[in-house]
Structure formats: C-alpha cells, structure tokens
Amino acid sequence: LENNEEKLYSVGELGQRCGVTVRTLQYYDKEGLLSPSRYSEGGRRLYTREDIFLLQQILFLKSFGFSLADIRDCLMKTESAKEIAFLFSQQREVIQEQIKKLEGIASFLFQVIGEINNCGEIGTEKLVAIMELMQQKNPYAFLLRYFKNDDIKTIISTINIDQPVEAAWAGLFEELFALNRAGVDPESEQGQEFTAKWWAAIQTYAKGDSGMTESMFQMGTDVDNWPESAGELKIVTKEFLAKAFEKYFKDKN
Amino acid sequence: LENNEEKLYSVGELGQRCGVTVRTLQYYDKEGLLSPSRYSEGGRRLYTREDIFLLQQILFLKSFGFSLADIRDCLMKTESAKEIAFLFSQQREVIQEQIKKLEGIASFLFQVIGEINNCGEIGTEKLVAIMELMQQKNPYAFLLRYFKNDDIKTIISTINIDQPVEAAWAGLFEELFALNRAGVDPESEQGQEFTAKWWAAIQTYAKGDSGMTESMFQMGTDVDNWPESAGELKIVTKEFLAKAFEKYFKDKN
DNA sequence: TTGCTCCTCACGTCACGTGAGGTGGC
DNA sequence: TTGCTCCTCACGTCACGTGAGGTGGC
C-alpha cells in the first residue's frame, strides 16, 4: 500500500482478464514457468507488470503450439521498455506471417470451391493438398531461436545506439497524443498536415514489410473490438487517427 | 484392385501427408471419430476420399480448439460435391474472420510499440489489453451450431435450386481450364478479355465479403507454397491467372 | 459475520506418446 | 528372405480439471 505503487493482480483477476483459469496460473507457478514476484501477508499470489509480460509471452508462444518445457527455456525477463518493444515487434512479425499463411489457404479454398462447382467432383489428392497447406510444418520454429538466444539483450542494446526510425516514430506518437489532448480537429488543416506526415512515415517504415502497410490500413477498423483497458490509445486511434485518415484518403481520390 | 478404383491411403501415408501420427489415426478409429471404410485382407486400415474429408473436418475444427467429443457430434458425411463445396466455403469464412482478428492484434501491437518508444514505458493495463485481444473468447462457437445442425443438408439442397452466382463461377472455371489446356497466352487479347470477366465476377461475388477481394489479390502470390498434390489447379493459377492479372493491373494503371 | 476468493494436496482426464511383441506386404 | 509398415495391448505423460477441506480479506 505504498504511494506510487503500480497495480497488482491476484490469480483470479489476472486469470479472468487473460482467459486462463486460476488452476492454470497455480500450475505455472508450481512448474516454475511463472512465479509471482510478490505475495500478500496471507500468502496469496500477487502479479506485477513484469510477471504479466512473462505470462503474455507464455500465452503467445503456447498459441503457436509450443510445449511449456520449450517455452520455459526462452522466456525473457524484461528490464527495459525497449526490450518489450523489441519482443512485441517480433510477435507482430510472426502474426503477419500467420496472416499470410491463412490468406494462402483461403485463396486455395476459393479455387477448390470453384473447381468443385465446375467439375461436380473433388479428387482425393486435392483434399490432401488442402490439409498439407493447413498444417504446413509450423514455420515458427525459428521463434525458439529468436527468443532462446541469450544474446538478445546485447543485440537490443546494440540496435538502440542508432535507430533513427524508432526515434522518428516516438516523435510522431508524442505529437499525436499532444494534438489529441489539445483538442485539435483531425479534419482541420493542422490535423491533415499531421496525417500526411504519419502516412509518409508508414510508407518509409513499411518498406520491405509487405504486411505492414495492410496492417496500417486496417488500423481503426478494429478499434471497436479493443478492450476498455486499451485506454487513451483506443480513444486517440478512434477519435483522431480514424477520422483523420478517412478524410485524408477521401481528399486524395 | 478393381478397374476405376480411386486412390486409397494407408495410415502411414495419410498421416504423413496430413501432419498427424499413425497413433493419432488409430486413436481416432478407436474413439469412433474416424474409422476407415475399408480394410486390406490382412486387416490394415485403408482410407477413402470420404474418410479423408472427415479427417479434414476434424483437423480444421481441432485447429480452432474444439475437443474431440465436440467434433464427433458435428462431423458431416459427404454425399455430394455441393455439400463439400458448402463446407469449404464455411471454412473459408471462418479463416477470413481469423485473419481479421489477427490484423486487429497486429495493428494494436504496432500502436503499443509506438507508444512504448514514445513514453519509454508500458502500463500494466495496456499489457492486459493485448492479452484480452489475443484470447478474445473464441468467437467460433457458432461453428458448432453451423455444423451440428442436421438440417444443413436440407439447407444446401434448398440453396441449390437457385444459385446463379455459383453457376456463373462454375462457367468461369470451366473456361479457365479450357483456355489453359488450349495453350492460350494469358497476356493475349483473348486472355485479357477473360481476365476482365474474372475480375468483374470477383467484384460481384466479393460484395459484402470484405475479405474476399483481398483474398483474391493474394491469389497467385502464395502458389509456390502450394503442395505438389494441388495438381492442375496450381499450374492454372500460377501459369495463367498470376500472369494474366499481372498484365491486367499493369495496363489498368 | 457472511460471501467470495484463494490456499494446498490429491486424484481424474483428455489426447495422445512410447515401447513390447507379433504379423503383412512389396 | 529382408526391411519396412502396420497390428493390438498396455502403461506413460503433458497440461491441466475437479473436488476436498481449510484460510484470507473486504
């Protein structure tokens, strides 16, 4: 109960919000995957932000089919915000890969449906082909290498020395939040000027990352699904960026 | 060893191509999920096309986290090609939903990364927000209703009475295969004329299905990942459609 | 004080994995 | 005949689920 103490979560609270049961958290504790850094006087588990980020990593890796034993070996204790940002960008890349894979399956299904409607039949081998596509020996094994490597922290600190791109984005985000707080209209001249800068940054940043531009296009469309705890980010995205880009693209065409 | 017998798979063969072990197929048999419709003289399991389509349904539903008990109740024995086509189109819709969800997560991650680089910190609640997004109480429960309903077959037969859209696609596919077999150059006038028709059909068909257009844009880009057993479909898509659309969009801009 | 959450055993379960010992099929 | 696949028990395991009996905290 100190003064500027950060929020702590109990097993039940955390479980509910993250979609896991109390029993699961107790099990992870017993197995040494995730032990809470604090306990109440009565011996109850209290999870800090560090613990929660570990849980986030666990659930992410688990969703790609890794065993708890594998996961245990490559969890990364977070010491700086940069490290978190780095791991998040890794996760985003993996998700982008997954999206591509699913798009491949969807388009193949579409073709097969067309062929069935045409021939009135489907061959055994085409069925098998679909299943080969769906399993596709998970190409995420590289994840373990990425995460397992103890040098990651060194790599990150190296990267940090010169990263003009990251710095540029930090500046843009600062500006975005400032504009929103100042109540600037996203459709105003000032708002549209900022939107143009943001768009230019996307174009630069998305270079060589085909999924990124799409990801940014999608931005805003899914805001309604974001949970309440997204906080200011949700408001800024919905109230400012969504409106700003709507007008921006309307004017462009 | 009859004359026009279709290809049969043994446990090992099927397992290898579908990414499951022999033991798994034996287990599914014992549990009554999937028993092969034929056996060799020596009592070995032989899987027909019907069985394989059941396995396809099992693996698809399993990949969305359903238990084998749940799956057992809603497997659909396929009696007509139309039924297979219908179930495939359901699967494609679910995949499209999944893609949307992943895109939402990716864009949210991107925003959070930006905020971290800006503030140099990430709040506990924002971490939790990411996890709420990632779990998102699987919205695929409706799948069970879709598949479980015994009336599905009736529904399908009803739909079949008037389906000008499906008929149009069947015609287009027929034409596509014919053109390819006739060795028509996709970049020729005849080829481009066909491409325009195909594109128009996409525009119509994609109405109200936001993922569809994207899915079709992606078409061709992932062909290299398609397995060999995709057969003529792979060749037609790669050799004809991919080339045809490349030129088509080049000319359009 | 009441109701809810959380605690630790401990046994159960789901979906297979892993040999053990024997047969089928090219 | 050899090597590989496949067969059926049967016990093991991974990641929890499910009470059983008791305590913590607003």
A23: its two tokens: 């029993």
A242: its two tokens: 């969504």
Taking residues A122-148, report their average pLDDT. 75
What pLDDT was estimated at residue A32? 95
Write down the pTM of the prediction. 0.87
Q: Cβ of A49 under 8 Å from any chain B Cβ? A: yes
Short-list A106, A104, A83, A101, CA closest to A140: A101
What's the rounded Cα separation, in Å, for the pair A51 and A38?
A: 10
B248 compared with B214, residue with greater pLDDT: B248
Taking residues A75-97, report their average pLDDT. 86
Confidence of residue A163 (pLDDT cuts 50, 70, 90): low
Strand C bases within 7 angstroms of protein beta carbons: 5-8, 14-18, 23-25
Distance in angstroms: CA A231, C1' C8: 38
What pLDDT was estimated at residue A3? 42
Indicate whether B3 pLDDT > 50: no
DSSP letter (8 states) at residue A229: G
Over residues B7-56, the pLDDT tens digits come to 999 999 999 999 999 999 999 999 999 999 999 999 999 999 999 999 99
Q: Looking at beta carbons, which residues of chain A come within 8 Å of B49?
A: 122-124, 127
Which residues have CB atoms below 7 Å from chain D, the nucleic strand?
A 21, 23-24, 27, 40-44, 62, 67-69; B 10-13, 15, 22, 26, 43-45
Indicate whether A162 pLDDT > 70: no
- Pairs from A209-216 (Cβ < 8 Å, separation ≥ 24): A209/A96, A211/A96, A211/A99, A211/A100, A211/B106, A212/A96, A212/B110, A214/B103, A215/A92, A215/A96, A215/B103, A215/B106, A215/B107, A215/B110, A216/B107, A216/B110
Which residues of A, range 175-234, sit inside 8 Å of B by Cβ? 177, 211-212, 214-216, 218-220, 222, 225-227, 229-231, 233
Cross-chain residue pair A19–B137, CB shorter than 8 Å:
yes
A151 compared with B135, residue with greater pLDDT: B135
Cross-chain residue pair A7–B125, CB shorter than 8 Å:
yes
